[in-house]
Structure 1
């Protein structure tokens, strides 16, 4: 829920007409030569990755209940959620849609899942089966 809210708030930015011309597909060479823009891209990447880490972590923790984990399933869910947010932002003022955001979000979910798997392996011996 938090991920969706961060991606769409404030709601008054929604204007109902698309701003396809403002999509940032990939950074241009001019942008990559600007330290200020590089810093902005780095901050944006870190923020997007960190935003989706809990999504992947919570997905991995389902494994504690014996549910099978599928990296492909997680990546599809993260992609669909991120794509939905980015698509919504095309119709908003003061929000920018970026292909890099989509990739960073999916990467964050994957890293969260990997962190969850490490946590589960580390604590698997501490899990005690209930008495029958």
Structure 2
């Protein structure tokens, strides 16, 4: 499949997801920006976690790229709605922390010990100083 076809397919999936009815057992968090990058320059992956502080690997950091935005969603269908929020680093940390989030889901609720977290990381090309 050509890169253009993959980009169009990814765009169609994003648009379909935006039009879908929201799941009442899901929460999401958007950090940074999700615009201004080539449609082919993103990383999508999933993690299975038990909640609490979750470290998210940076899949954008490869030669010539840096992470500029992230969209994270977590669901516990049909048991409960987990809450996802940025994990606080320090009172002086104002930039989005793409690597650490806090997911709250009661341990005594079924499914909270194995939450599926879906991550979209948006990457930007980095150019060397001239």
The two structures have a TM-score, normalised by structure 1, of 0.23
Structure ID, larger Rg = 1
Give the number of the structure whose residues are more often strand, by fraction: 2
TM-score (normalised: structure 2): 0.24
